[in-house]
Structure 1
Amino acid sequence: MRADIKTVLFDLDGTLIDHFMCIYRCYRYAQEKMGLAPVSYEKVRSTVGGSVRITMGHLMGVENAERGEALFREHFNEIMLEDLHALPGAKWLLQQLQARGVRTAVFTNKHGIGARKIMAHLGFDKYLDEVIGTYDTPWRKPDPEFTQYALETMKADAESTIMVGDSPFDILAGQVGGIRSYVVATGSHSVEELEAIDPPADGVYRDLHHFAEEFLGLPRTPEAVEK
């Protein structure tokens, strides 16, 4: 395990969890309620990022974004624990980091209250020091104030902190705070797409196991395959 890393900020969707089907159902619910033509799961998955309202604007038009967001959140509060899966390596990696004294947090553009419920439901909360989401502050990734808030909450310095995510928003969220950013291709972007992002991430990996082995130097143990 690298000795220079004291704190790890993890994105949530596409990094620690697969929640895309639930998210898709909420966008579909909003579209149906508003009488709009539904878009495909693939389209939603490739468009998600930044915030619900931004994604709504891309999918349904800016003029429908505010109403669409309200409907999305209405349905999400009802089904947030459905179609929810931990990504391979997520629990194992959090356990490994905790055992080595590394502080960890979820740092997400998901609503903070929902993110904390999801982490508790999966049993991940016992391995995390903090879960930081939107509406905990006025900001969201990649606002520099949000990254600074995360560092202050974790009592961490940028030099010994890294960001692990799956999207350009995660890369930027790290960079605006002077934090090294690493991304995994388990969200909306392939390895090739992540490698083409400019400004680039400090590293691109297939998944959390690949990141843990190649960057952190944590060998994959037999129990890691199950987690």
Structure 2
Amino acid sequence: MRALPKPQAVIFDWDDTLVDNWNTAFKALNTALVHMGAPPWTEDEARRRSGPSAKDLFTQLFGADRWKEADKVYYDTFCALVLDNVRLHDKAEDFLNALQKNNIYMAVVSNKRGHLLRKEVEHLGFNRYFGKVIGAGDAAADKPDPAPLLLSLEGSGIPPGPAVWYVGDSHTDMMCALRAGCTAVLIETKPPPEDLLIKNPPTGRVRHHGDLMELLDRHFG
């Protein structure tokens, strides 16, 4: 694994980075598509096209006049399923505990609707780890714009830069991190197609949270 700068802060995406909600999100997405009269996506297509916030995605697909209809079906389906099905990725909490032990600032930046994101974080009892939990609609723009990542650092005393790792699973996450001037770390829980990473290559790549622990140990072990 490529060595990364010593971190002062580690910011995380949420879905498919810390938690595995993919099956729930995939089912909710296809429920919304079918409701809108569109064909359901294959899993490969969903992985390729996912990343923008639901508002941005459904506006692209159905226009400014109909995105709210698709959005409501998506979130109604997702909310009905998620809390009974959310699970942590292996060793994710071990990594959070290691960061906390070393007094490294942590936050979450996701394109999931802010109130729903914070409900999931609270459900898992993870509020104790994060200085801020930023979701879609909380900043002036959503990922891949750097605004939510910059917002997550406000008040921490830590400026954006290489000492801030942003860990995510999508090309949208890599774009956000690089635009903010931070270290972009791709965690390959469900890696995006390689062609989507060409213009926004990650600074580092890891397979799982165990690899992140190893990178952290190089600085603090």
Shorter-normalised TM range? 0.7 to 0.9
Q: Does 2:69 match 1:67?
A: yes
Are the aligned partners of 1:143 and 1:173 in contact in 2 as well (CA < 8 Å)?
yes
Which residue in 2 is equivalent to 1:222?
Answer: none
Note closer, same or farther for the CA distance 1:161–1:57 as it changes in structure 2 (3 Å cut).
Answer: same
Are the aligned partners of 1:183 and 1:203 in contact in 2 as well (CA < 8 Å)?
yes
Aligned-pair CA distance for 1:196: 4.8
Aligned-pair CA distance for 1:27: 1.6
* In 1: Cα distance, 2:98 partner to 2:70 partner: 40
Aligned-pair CA distance for 1:70: 2.4
* In 2: Cα distance, 1:112 partner to 1:85 partner: 19
Which residue in 2 is equivalent to 1:17?
Answer: 19
Aligned-pair CA distance for 1:104: 0.5
Which residue in 1 is equivalent to 2:138?
Answer: 136
Are the aligned partners of 1:147 and 1:176 in contact in 2 as well (CA < 8 Å)?
no
Which residue in 2 is equivalent to 1:115?
Answer: 117
Note closer, same or farther for the CA distance 1:41–1:145 as it changes in structure 2 (3 Å cut).
Answer: closer
Aligned-pair CA distance for 1:106: 0.8
AA aligned to 1:165 is G
Which residue in 1 is equivalent to 2:217?
Answer: 217
Are the aligned partners of 2:18 and 2:92 in contact in 1 as well (CA < 8 Å)?
yes
Secondary structure (helix, strand or coil) at the match of 1:80 reads: helix
More deviation, 164-173/94-103: 164-173
Are the aligned partners of 1:91 and 1:124 in contact in 2 as well (CA < 8 Å)?
no
Summarize the alignment of residues 145-164 of structure 1 with structure 2, pairs less than 5 Å apart.
145-159=147-161, 160-164=163-167
- Structure 2's unaligned 5+ residue stretches are none
Aligned-pair CA distance for 1:19: 0.5
Aligned-pair CA distance for 1:36: 3.8
Q: Does 2:182 match 1:179?
A: yes
* In 2: Cα distance, 1:172 partner to 1:117 partner: 26
Are the aligned partners of 2:169 and 2:186 in contact in 1 as well (CA < 8 Å)?
yes
Are the aligned partners of 2:138 and 2:148 in contact in 1 as well (CA < 8 Å)?
no
Note closer, same or farther for the CA distance 1:150–1:209 as it changes in structure 2 (3 Å cut).
Answer: same
* In 2: Cα distance, 1:50 partner to 1:153 partner: 26
More deviation, 176-185/38-47: 38-47
* In 2: Cα distance, 1:62 partner to 1:22 partner: 22
Which residue in 1 is equivalent to 2:46?
Answer: 44
Are the aligned partners of 1:80 and 1:114 in contact in 2 as well (CA < 8 Å)?
no
Are the aligned partners of 1:13 and 1:187 in contact in 2 as well (CA < 8 Å)?
no
- Structure 1's unaligned 5+ residue stretches are 220-227
TM-score, normalised to structure 2, is 0.83
Alignment RMSD, CA only? 2.6
- After superposition, give the CA deviation of every residue in 1:92-138 in whole Å (9 maximum; x if it has no partner): 10011001111111111111111111112222222222211112223
1:166 to 153, 159, 169: 169
Are the aligned partners of 1:185 and 1:194 in contact in 2 as well (CA < 8 Å)?
no
Note closer, same or farther for the CA distance 1:155–1:114 as it changes in structure 2 (3 Å cut).
Answer: farther
Note closer, same or farther for the CA distance 1:3–1:137 as it changes in structure 2 (3 Å cut).
Answer: closer
- After superposition, give the CA deviation of every residue in 1:186-226 in whole Å (9 maximum; x if it has no partner): 13426xx289532311111111211221x22269xxxxxxx
AA aligned to 1:216 is L
Aligned-pair CA distance for 1:158: 1.8
- After superposition, give the CA deviation of every residue in 1:7-44 in whole Å (9 maximum; x if it has no partner): 11111111111101111221232234334433334433
